[in-house]
Amino acid sequence: MPFKVDEIREISNKYEIPLIEDAAEALGSTYKGQSCGTFGDFAILSFNGNKIITTSGGGALVCKSTSHKEKAIFLSTQARDAAPHYQHSEIGYNYRLSNICAGIGRGQMEVLDERVRLRRGMHDFYTELFQNKEGVDVFSEASAEFHSNHWLSCILINSKKAGFSSEELRLALEAENIESRPLWKPMHKQPVFQDAPYYGRKIAEELFDNGLCLPSGSNLEDAEKERIMSVVTQFL
């Protein structure tokens, strides 16, 4: 889902904070007709195995100038000085995408539009499935300016209004061997960061407690969708 690009850009300009766009999931999404991954001073796209298109692993860095591009390539290819031997005046990394993965990625770009169409179809499927159910919101675009690839279809459940919790629905699906998952556990709730300071309100926690990611793959067959529909309908 595209972020509130104009509002974030305004803050970034006002305080002179570079805008780094995490568009890992957002390839094929647009805001006011412009592609996600092109708004930041830098942006990243993920081609991990679970993304809308994949190179099995890896991703891309998008930037706005040749000098930034050259610096990123330098740092991601071990920061070698211009010398016949291996010499390093800066610390570099081995973050390059292999040529084999890049080749797969170029082929995958050709199926992007079709994948977006299918993922958006999954969103429509859940919108229809839950349309008459009070207390269940399917994450949707805020206005016509936002165009989401709907890589993942998620719902938010108000258990008081709905009469059930996200965990109860998750367990009902699991009992039929249909995988769903809570939304992401916030960083400050991760055991590894339990001693770290935390700033903020409870929004991320509420999303984690009440949200559910539903089967969203672009390869779901009609029979699989019918099974999801039947299990959810029975549960409701």
Ligand X SMILES: Cc1ncc(COP(=O)(O)O)c(C=O)c1O
CB 164 to ligand X: min, Å: 27
Q: Closer to ligand X at the Cβ: 22 or 167?
A: 22
Angle, alpha carbons 127-209-177 (nearest 5°): 60
The DSSP code for 135 is T
CB 119 to ligand X: min, Å: 14
**Do residues 213 and 183 touch, judged by C-beta distance below 8 A?**
yes
- Tell me: does residue 104 bind ligand X (CB under 6 A): no
Interaction pattern, residues 33-52, with ligand X; x per rule: CB under 6 A? -------------x-x----
Q: Closer to ligand X at the Cβ: 51 or 130?
A: 51
CB 27 to ligand X: min, Å: 11
Binning the chain into helix, strand and coil, the percentages to the nearest 5 are: 40, 15, 45
Q: Closer to ligand X at the Cβ: 83 or 203?
A: 203
Q: Closer to ligand X at the Cβ: 47 or 130?
A: 47
Q: Which residues ranging from 105 to 144 are in contact with ligand X (CB under 6 A)?
A: none
The DSSP code for 97 is P
Q: Closer to ligand X at the Cβ: 112 or 236?
A: 112
Radius of gyration, alpha carbons of the chain: 21
3-class DSSP string for 101-122: HHHHHHHHHCCHHHHHHHHHHH
Q: How far apart are CA 42 and CA 208, in angstroms?
A: 28
Q: Which residues ranging from 12 to 31 are in contact with ligand X (CB under 6 A)?
A: 22, 24-25
Q: Give 171's contacts (C-beta < 8 A, 6+ positions apart).
A: none
Q: Which residues ranging from 52 to 71 are in contact with ligand X (CB under 6 A)?
A: 59
Sites of contact with ligand X (CB under 6 A): 22, 24-25, 46, 48, 59
